[in-house]
Chains A and B, each alone.
Chain A
Amino acid sequence: MQPILKINLSTGDISEVKIPEDWERDYLGGASLAARMLYPSLTKELDPFSPKSPLLFLNGPLTGTAGPAVGRFVVCGKSPATGLWAESNCGGFWGPELRFCGFDGIWIEGKADRPVYLSINDNHVEIRDASKVWGMDTYESQTFIKNESGIPGTRVLTIGPAGENGILFAGFICDHGRAAGRTGLGAVAGAKYLKAIAVRGSKKVPIAEPTLFAALRSASNRALKNDNMSRVFHDLGTASVADYADYLGAMPKKYYSSGIFEGVDKVSGSTMAETILTGTSACHACVIACGRVVSLSDGVKRKGPEYETLAGFGPNILNSDLASITRMGELCDRNGMDTISAGNIIGFAFHLFDKGIITSKDTGGAILKWGDIEIVERLLGMIVRREGIGNFLARGSREFGRRFNAEDEAVQVNDLEVPYHDPRGFSGMALVYATSPRGACHNQSDYFTVDLGQADSSLGMQYYPRHAGREKARNVARHQDWRTIFNAMVMCTFANVPVNDIVDLVNAVCGYSWDTEDLFLSGERAWNLKRMINIRMGLTQVNDKLPKALLEPYQKGGSAGYVPPFSEMLAEYYAVRGWDAVTGKPSKEILAKLGLEWIALES
């Protein structure tokens, strides 16, 4: 493994850190390795906005290779939104370029005394003045820094005004709208006066067995390109699932309160492909190319919405206009805001207005009418500027609800807004949201794909109907471990690559001789480590819950009348995980099995 670059923005010190070999082997890389590295730093007392709060950008062992959909990196730390473990991964080209510089990650601590950005050109690392870039949106910032560097091929990861202004769902953007959006780490960068990190490298990524790897990744990419799901994502984007998710009653509408919406068929990957789509875009070396390029009436080519943005600014707020959804997605990207949380929070404001809990007195005179996209645009601007009601929306949905004595109405788990895969449509998502280490998250396990049918027996999973209950708890745990491996690699979850291929690829790159269970042990270890980090930061069994709205049945639609049997599912999940039924803590036996005895001794 290449060294980690460590930068203290308070002192300007720049050093290199070598990762112990046993950590590499036990945690693989990415978010799992980050959890091990950050464990000593992440305490309950740590203020995420303090200079001591670390930001750790890590690649995986395959990042920068031409392996299948592995061009991603992850950023980790303590979330200012949740007060818990934070991780958010991102595609594009930035992660690979960092590896080409000879670094597998960057550890940032301290706080600069003025806006700065980092410039990394192979081994040459500089902390540069960013006063001219501060205030720019994420696309302007990338262009400015690339021009200033004068080095063709420079890749820039940047925050936008949302991160500068401490919005709790601010993230990072690189390339054309590739986002590390969730958990608010963009605001942590803003608190450190860190605007951006520019990278340009010329080195080769280390591979233990390059000839073997070349043959394996070539075969794997060929198979991946022909995979049904890859072709669906290529042709229709991630919004391809919208039609079927709607049919099943799994795409929330009207802020998770309605199972139907008349205009829903106008907002899907299929409709996009038939109307505004002009091309596709791909992350580094990816054969899928799920990114959408669309053209609206002004003729400008833009990033088209992926599923979450489409659902969040579409049916969630009763909007069926693809063009306006595209524009809201771009507004969030330019400002460096997570579209999942932004769409959710604005839907929440509409919901509270609808119920009379907030009125035009609270909104500065604005009438929040479902589907009114001008109001949505205005609210997004107010959030970024922290103006009027926007200042309260900027703190996340639970805090916003608390201000109006309506905390229970907020559709969030542990202060992270729920994405648009409804547990009433896919019961497995109930456990996923409740037990995810970073709050309600579909990237810790996109179990809805298993509920749709992607139950691969080679992963040790069985197929259960989408509304099955406690019997699927073992499957969910197994799938969480599987996706923890992806988040360690850091690999795109849209890549449907068989587990045996992944084992072979990891072995060829790292020089290991792992089998499937070694790989899964690594995933389970990291899942439990993140759990222990959160417990140390104050998480208890009480946190493992779902918001009220997700436990109330829809009246109409494909999931009408159904709610997941959450309590019994959670009890079974604890048993499967080897977690205490009362406290939710991993047992000493489980920690010992996973080589985490050192935590058991500490706690």
Chain B
Amino acid sequence: MTVIFPSPEWLQILEEKLNTDKQYAEIARNWEGDMCVDIIPSGPITQRIIYYLDLWHGKCRKTEIYTETPVNKPKFLLTATYQDIARIMKGELDPMQAMMTRKLQVHGSLAYMMRNVPTVLDFVRCCRDITTEVIS
């Protein structure tokens, strides 16, 4: 099956993956918090895309797609250009590297984030696992 990033189908399959992946369920068992991934247009993507994921104790309770920041502020907001997000999806850019070299901006409780880096990294693994094609 072809799963193209970014697309509504991709987000739907990611939700299913997060709800069935045993490793993610274990690592993220204590995670409590929703998240927006704000994709800034660059390269082939000309419109802003915001993916919303409600993540709770190793499961994904809800996903949405927005074109503007939602009124209810999520616990975490991750912002990057499409090209950098695409490199993360393709495994060309490590997510920690992106965060530490100003390619991925993180807003939210940093105390919580630093305690839960393994959860964030496993979330990215799930994203990569389902992605078969990245628009370039």
Contact = CB atoms under 8 A, between A and B. Distances in A.
B100 A244 contact: no
A274 interface: yes
A495 to B, nearest CB: 13
A226 B106 CA distance: 10
B105 A463 contact: no
Nearest to A240: B114
Contacts of B95: 453
A269 B100 contact: no
Given A269-B111, A463-B94, A229 B100 contact: yes
A326 interface: no
B2 interface: no
Contacts, number: 63
Contacts of A228: 99-100, 102, 104-106
B110 interface: yes
A232 B112 CA distance: 11
A332 to B, nearest CB: 25
Interface string B64-99: 000000000000000000000000000000111111
A232 B114 contact: yes
Contacts of A449: 100
A247 B114 contact: no
A498 interface: yes
Interface string A446-488: 0001001111100000010000000000000000000000000
B102 A270 contact: no
A454 B103 CA distance: 11
A227 interface: yes
A496 B97 CA distance: 13
Contact of A235 (B96, B100, B110): B110
Nearest to A243: B115
B101 interface: yes
Interface in A205-240: 223, 226-229, 231-232, 235-236, 240
B118 interface: yes
Contacts of B106: 228
B134 interface: no
Nearest to B107: A231
A463 B96 CA distance: 11
A240 B100 CA distance: 14
A496 B102 contact: yes
A240 to B, nearest CB: 5
A459 B130 CA distance: 33
A136 interface: no
A130 interface: no
Nearest to B111: A270
Contact of B97 (A229, A240, A463): A463
A453 B100 contact: yes
A269 to B, nearest CB: 7
A268 interface: yes
Contacts of B105: 226, 228
Nearest to A223: B102
A270 B118 contact: no
B112 to A, nearest CB: 8
B116 to A, nearest CB: 8
A247 B102 contact: no
A453 B99 contact: yes
B99 A269 contact: no
B117 A240 contact: no
A449 B100 CA distance: 9
B101 A454 contact: yes
A331 interface: no
Among A223, A240, A244, A456, the most chain B Cβ lie within 10 Å of the Cβ of A244
Contacts of A229: 100
A453 B101 contact: yes
A450 to B, nearest CB: 9
A274 B99 contact: no
Nearest to A458: B101
A226 B112 CA distance: 18
Nearest to A241: B114
B117 to A, nearest CB: 5
B110 A244 contact: no
A273 interface: yes
Contacts of A498: 102
Nearest to A463: B97
B101 A243 contact: no
Contacts of B97: 453-455, 463
Nearest to B100: A454
Nearest to A451: B96
Contact of B118 (A241, A247, A265, A453): A247
Contacts of A270: 111-112, 114-115
10 contacts: A231-B110, A232-B110, A236-B114, A243-B117, A265-B115, A273-B111, A453-B98, A453-B99, A453-B100, A463-B94
8 nearest A-B residue pairs (beta carbon): A453-B96, A453-B97, A270-B111, A454-B100, A453-B100, A244-B117, A235-B110, A243-B115
Given A236-B114, A270-B111, 5 more contacts: A227-B102, A235-B111, A270-B115, A273-B111, A456-B101
